[in-house]
């Protein structure tokens, strides 16, 4: 592939996909953790374990993966001149929304750590579908490039 990445383009693309998988796995796990966390008694040892699990998932997997996905994705986009293409604008919008969802989930973990439970288990289970739907749209936009 021609561009500033040269022969490294395929390696960068592979790394981007690998870290997308890590990020998505974390986004699927976190709301499920929340459902189980909300079943524990606030202040209990089980509550403390869920807080630790959620914090580690966010700090060790989710945040680094999202940052790497963004850096590699922007490098790939610059390499192919994607910023002038309609499919990329749509994809970027969905990735921004998914990043916002990530931030919201991180904030919800902090609320649970404080003993707050603003959402019912059913709503958390429904929120678990957000990353899957977003990923489907993003993949279609990136692979099919419909416009």
Contacts of 147 (CB under 8 A, 6+ apart): 86, 87, 90
> Is 123 annotated as a binding-site member?
no
Cα end-to-end span (Å), the chain: 21
The answer to whether residues 144 and 136 touch, using CB atoms and an 8 Å cutoff, is no
> Is 91 annotated as a binding-site member?
yes
Q: Is 103 exposed, middle or buried (0-12, 13-18, 19+ CB in 10 A)?
A: exposed
Binding residues for heme: 16, 91
């Amino acid at each position: 592939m021609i561009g500033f990445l040269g022969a490294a383009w395929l390696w960068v693309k592979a790394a981007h996909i690998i870290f997308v998988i890590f990020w998505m796995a974390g986004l699927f796990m976190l709301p499920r953790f929340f459902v189980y966390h909300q079943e524990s008694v606030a202040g209990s040892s089980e509550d403390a374990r869920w807080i630790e699990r959620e914090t580690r998932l966010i700090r060790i997997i989710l945040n680094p993966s999202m940052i790497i996905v963004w850096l590699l994705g922007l490098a790939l986009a610059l390499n192919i001149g994607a910023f002038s293409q309609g499919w990329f604008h749509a994809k970027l919008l969905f990735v921004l929304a998914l990043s916002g969802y990530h931030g919201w989930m991180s904030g919800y973990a902090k609320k649970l750590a404080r003993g707050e439970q603003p959402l019912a288990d059913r709503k958390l289970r429904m929120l678990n579908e957000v990353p899957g739907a977003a990923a489907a749209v993003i993949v279609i936009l990136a692979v099919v490039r419909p416009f």
